[in-house]
Amino acid sequence: MLALLVVAVGGFAFFLQQQKSGRTTLPGEAPSTELLPFIDPILAPLETGAAGYVPAALVRVDAALQSKRDGVNRDDQEVFSVAVTIASILQEALQDRDRHLQRLIELGSPVIGMSEDAAPKTPATTEVQRQHLELAVGVSWQRNSGTYRDRVEELWYRLLRLEQGRFAGGSAPQSMMPKPHQDPANE
């Protein structure tokens, strides 16, 4: 009976070892290097407009990360799962940013990289009212982008730890970490 128990435990340990193959060097770019170009442009103040990012490129990166996640063992999936979560947050932020930019266009404000013809204009308001509404839109985006940045930063540090030593090309260095959100009133 003891021999049967030892064989069962040994078989189970072998099974677990096969499932957890350990840290392997993964081919290609680290997910952080693929995501880094999107973070600052998407979470930037609205004054930068729609410049600096291509929404379709983020969708392609997200799809590629999901594909890579599905093609690796369970231990390596965590790296790509965290990266996919970051990409999803950035897509959500991008949609929110576009809504804020659209609102600025509706107010009659010029927005870099977006056509003013596509949006219906808000009924005539005084210049003071328009500036007040523009400021409200800017404050709303600033608050929202800070929330997105906090979520991304938390996952970003985790992603960098998970990537460490796993990719042939390396991961984005810590110095490339987006700067923590700062309240402009405190600067």
Residue 26 has φ and ψ, to the nearest 5°, of -95, 145
| Percent of the chain's residues with pLDDT above 90 | 40
Answer yes or no: is 18 within a domain.
no
**Could you give the number of structural domains in the chain?**
1
The pLDDT value recorded for residue 185 is 40
Domain that includes residue 140, residue range: 30-171
Which tokens belong to 106? 């509706």
Using 50, 70 and 90 to split pLDDT, how confident is the model at 44? Answer: very high
Answer yes or no: is 17 within a domain.
no
Judged by DSSP in three states, 21 sits in: coil
Answer yes or no: is 4 within a domain.
no
Using 50, 70 and 90 to split pLDDT, how confident is the model at 165? Answer: confident
Answer yes or no: is 8 within a domain.
no
CA distance 173 to 186: 28
CA distance 95 to 99: 6
Judged by DSSP in three states, 26 sits in: strand
In this structure, the chain runs to a length of: 187
pLDDT one-digit tens code per residue, 65-84:
999 999 888 878 899 999 99
